[in-house]
Structure 1
Amino acid sequence: MKTSLFLWMYTLIAIAILAGCNSAEPHDESSEESARQPNILFIMSDDHAYQAISAYDDRLIHTPHIDRIASEGMLFERAFVTNSICAPSRAVILTGKHSHLNGLRDNGDRFDGAQQTISKLFQQNGYHTAIFGKWHLKTDPTGFDTWKVLPGQGHYYNPEFRTSQGKEVDSGYVTDLITDFSLEWIDQVKNDNKPFFLVYQHKAPHREWLPKEEDYKAFTKKTFPEPATLFDDYSGRSKAAQEAEMRISDHMGLTNDNKIKPSVAESHGFTDFLPWYSNAYHNNLDRMSDEERQAWDAVYDPINEEFDAQNLKGDELTSWKYQRYMQDYLGSIAAVDNNVGRVLDYLEENDLADNTVVIYTSDQGFYLGEHGWFDKRFMYEESFRTPLMIRWPGVVEAGSRNSDLVQNLDFAQTMLDMAGIPMPEDMQGKSMVPLLKNKNPIWRKALYYHYYEYPGIHAVKRHIGARTDQYKLIHFYDDIDEWELFDLESDPDELSNVYDTPEYSDVQDEMHEILMELAQHYKDSVGMEQAKWRE
Structure 2
Amino acid sequence: MSYKRVIRFIVFIALCVQAKQMVAQNANTRPNIIYIMSDDHAYQAISAYGYGLNHTPNIDKLAEQGVLFNRAFVTNSICGPSRAVMLTGKHSHVNGFKDNHSTFDGSQQTVAKLLHNNGYTTAVIGKWHLISDPQGFDYWNVVPGQGEYYNPDFIENGVKKRVPGYITNITTDFAINWLDSRDKSKPFFLMYQQKAPHRNWMPEEKYYHLFDSTQFPVPANYFDDYQTRTKAAHEQAMEVARDMHDAYDLKLAFDLPKDQQKGLAGNWQGIYNRLTPEEKKKWEAAYGPSIEAFKKANLSGKELAIWKYQRYMRDYLRCVQSVDDNVGRLMEYLKANGLDKNTIIIYTSDQGFYLGEHGWFDKRFMYEESFRTPLIVKWPGVTNKKIASNSMVQNLDFAETILDMAGLPIPADMQGKSFVPVLKGKKKGDVHEALYYHFYENQEHKVAKHIGVRTDRYKLIYFYENNEWEMYDLKKDKSEMKNVYNDPSYSKVKSMMQKKLMELKKQYNDPVPVVTPQI
Give yes or no for contact 2:124–2:192 (8 Å, CA) kept in 1: yes
Give yes or no for contact 2:27–2:187 (8 Å, CA) kept in 1: no
The answer to whether residue 247 in structure 2 is matched with residue 255 in structure 1 is yes
Give the match for residue 67 of structure 2.
Answer: 74
Matches within 5 A, 1:151-300: 151-189=144-182, 192-261=184-253, 275-300=262-287
Give the match for residue 451 of structure 1.
Answer: 439
2:53 to 57, 60, 77: 60
Amino acid at match of 1:447: L
Structure-2 change in CA distance of 1:429 and 1:309 (3 Å): same
Give the match for residue 499 of structure 1.
Answer: 485
- Displacement after TM superposition at 1:294 (Å): 1.3
The answer to whether residue 452 in structure 2 is matched with residue 465 in structure 1 is yes
- The 2-side partners of 1:531 and 1:357 are apart by 45
Give yes or no for contact 2:255–2:269 (8 Å, CA) kept in 1: no
Equivalent residue of 1:450, what SS?
A: strand
Equivalent residue of 2:223, what SS?
A: coil
Amino acid at match of 1:514: K
Give yes or no for contact 1:207–1:257 (8 Å, CA) kept in 2: yes
Give yes or no for contact 1:75–1:389 (8 Å, CA) kept in 2: yes
Equivalent residue of 1:44, what SS?
A: strand
- The 2-side partners of 1:54 and 1:185 are apart by 30
- Displacement after TM superposition at 1:34 (Å): 11
- The 2-side partners of 1:457 and 1:165 are apart by 29
Amino acid at match of 1:450: H
Give yes or no for contact 1:97–1:409 (8 Å, CA) kept in 2: yes
Give yes or no for contact 1:245–1:251 (8 Å, CA) kept in 2: yes
Equivalent residue of 2:484, what SS?
A: coil
- The 1-side partners of 2:159 and 2:313 are apart by 36
The one-character-per-residue Cα deviations of 1:400-447 (angstroms, maximum 9, x if unpaired) are 111011000000000000001111100000001000001026632100
- The 2-side partners of 1:106 and 1:115 are apart by 18
Give yes or no for contact 1:80–1:384 (8 Å, CA) kept in 2: yes
- Displacement after TM superposition at 1:90 (Å): 0.2
Give yes or no for contact 1:512–1:531 (8 Å, CA) kept in 2: no
Equivalent residue of 1:351, what SS?
A: coil
Equivalent residue of 1:525, what SS?
A: coil
Amino acid at match of 1:314: G
Amino acid at match of 1:521: Q
- The 2-side partners of 1:218 and 1:507 are apart by 47
Give the match for residue 109 of structure 1.
Answer: 102
Structure-2 change in CA distance of 1:264 and 1:322 (3 Å): farther
Which of the two has higher C-alpha Rg? Answer: 2
The one-character-per-residue Cα deviations of 1:181-205 (angstroms, maximum 9, x if unpaired) are 0001001127x22100000000000
The one-character-per-residue Cα deviations of 1:354-397 (angstroms, maximum 9, x if unpaired) are 10000000000000000000000000000000000000010114
- Displacement after TM superposition at 1:222 (Å): 2.5
Give the match for residue 142 of structure 1.
Answer: 135
The one-character-per-residue Cα deviations of 1:203-230 (angstroms, maximum 9, x if unpaired) are 0000000000111222334321111111
Amino acid at match of 1:519: K
Give the match for residue 349 of structure 1.
Answer: 336
TM-score by length of 2: 0.92
The one-character-per-residue Cα deviations of 1:464-492 (angstroms, maximum 9, x if unpaired) are 000001000000121x1110010000000
* Runs of at least 5 residues in structure 2 that lack an aligned partner in the other structure: 1-21
* Runs of at least 5 residues in structure 1 that lack an aligned partner in the other structure: 1-28, 266-270
The one-character-per-residue Cα deviations of 1:492-528 (angstroms, maximum 9, x if unpaired) are 00000000211101100000110000111111121xx
The answer to whether residue 86 in structure 2 is matched with residue 93 in structure 1 is yes
Equivalent residue of 1:530, what SS?
A: coil
Give yes or no for contact 2:26–2:186 (8 Å, CA) kept in 1: no
The one-character-per-residue Cα deviations of 1:4-54 (angstroms, maximum 9, x if unpaired) are xxxxxxxxxxxxxxxxxxxxxxxxx9xx99981100000000000000000
Equivalent residue of 2:496, what SS?
A: helix
CA RMSD in angstroms comes to 2.0
- Displacement after TM superposition at 1:275 (Å): 4.6
Runs of 4+ in 1 over 6 A off after TM superposition: 32-35, 262-265
The answer to whether residue 509 in structure 2 is matched with residue 523 in structure 1 is yes
- Displacement after TM superposition at 1:398 (Å): 1.4
- Displacement after TM superposition at 1:264 (Å): 9.4
Identity score, percent: 54
Q: How many residues align?
A: 495
Amino acid at match of 1:187: D
- The 2-side partners of 1:498 and 1:49 are apart by 27
Give the match for residue 473 of structure 2.
Answer: 487
Give yes or no for contact 1:87–1:106 (8 Å, CA) kept in 2: yes
Structure-2 change in CA distance of 1:34 and 1:345 (3 Å): closer
Give yes or no for contact 2:464–2:515 (8 Å, CA) kept in 1: no
Amino acid at match of 2:170: L
Give the match for residue 4 of structure 2.
Answer: none
- The 1-side partners of 2:41 and 2:342 are apart by 27
- Displacement after TM superposition at 1:312 (Å): 1.2
Amino acid at match of 2:136: G
- Displacement after TM superposition at 1:249 (Å): 1.2
Give the match for residue 395 of structure 1.
Answer: 382
Amino acid at match of 1:308: K
Which has the higher mean CA deviation after the structures are superposed, 295-304 or 42-51? Answer: 295-304
- The 1-side partners of 2:27 and 2:319 are apart by 38
Give yes or no for contact 1:216–1:327 (8 Å, CA) kept in 2: no
Structure-2 change in CA distance of 1:472 and 1:341 (3 Å): same
2:37 to 35, 44, 66: 44
- Displacement after TM superposition at 1:165 (Å): 3.7
Amino acid at match of 1:491: D
The one-character-per-residue Cα deviations of 1:325-368 (angstroms, maximum 9, x if unpaired) are 00100000000000000001111111101100000000000000
Give the match for residue 14 of structure 2.
Answer: none
Amino acid at match of 1:256: Y
- The 2-side partners of 1:397 and 1:499 are apart by 44
- The 1-side partners of 2:73 and 2:199 are apart by 21
- The 2-side partners of 1:300 and 1:76 are apart by 37
- The 1-side partners of 2:255 and 2:118 are apart by 57
TM-score by length of 1: 0.90
